Amino acid sequence: MSELQDTARPVIAHGMRLQWEAAQEAHVLLYPEGMIKLNSSAGAIMSRCDGVRTVADIVADLERSYNLTGLAGEVTAFVRLALEKHWLELRA
């Protein structure tokens, strides 16, 4: 996989659906005959992947929302993993 630019705009991959499930108190990723329950960090990142925001926007938004700094590494690593697993894709 090529290097992930912080100007990239990740979006939930085609054929996948992200939704909040109250019964599981978690975001889940739904796809044909399967489901991935996301932990709270993954849920927070994925729910911001709308194909409009860039990776840099998502990092800034998360740092603001959770009053933290230095999240870029963690976010980039997760987005890269989610791209490899085809949970996310990049909007051109």
Partner 1 sequence: MNAPPLVGHGPSPAEATGARDARSAAAPGPPLWLLLELTYRCPLHCVFCYNPTDFANVGPELQTCDWIRVLREARALGAVQLGLSGGEPLAREDLETIIAEAHALGYYINLITSGVGMTEARIKALKDAGLDHIQLSFQDSSRAMNDFLTSTRTFDLKAKVAALIRKYDYPMVLNVVLHRLNIDHVGEILGMAERLGAQYVELANTQYYGWAWLNRAQLLPSRAQLERAEAVTQRFREQVGSRMQIYFVVPDYFEKRPKACMSGLGSVFLAIAPDGLAMPCHAARMLPGMSLPNVRESDIRSIWYNSPAFNRFRGDAWMKEPCRNCPERSKDFGGCRCQAYLLTGDADNTDPVCDLSPHHHLVSEAVARAEAAGAAPAGATREQPLIFRDHRVSIPVVTAGCAVRR
- Contact residues toward partner 1 (CB under 8 A) are 14-15, 17, 19, 21-24, 28, 30-37, 86
Q: How far is the CB of 44 from partner 1 (least distance, A)?
A: 18
Q: How far apart are CA 29 and CA 51, in angstroms?
A: 16
For the chain, give the DSSP string. Answer: -PPPPTT-EEEEPTT-EEEEEGGGTEEEEEETTEEEE--HHHHHHHTT-BSSS-HHHHHHHHHHHHT----HHHHHHHHHHHHHTTSEEEE-
Residue 31 C-beta: closest distance to partner 1, Å: 7
Least distance between partner 1 and beta carbon 40 (Å): 14
Is 29 or 71 the residue whose CB approaches partner 1 more closely? 29
Nearer residue to partner 1 within complex by CB, 24 or 65: 24
Residue 28 or 62: the one with the smaller Cβ distance to partner 1 is 28
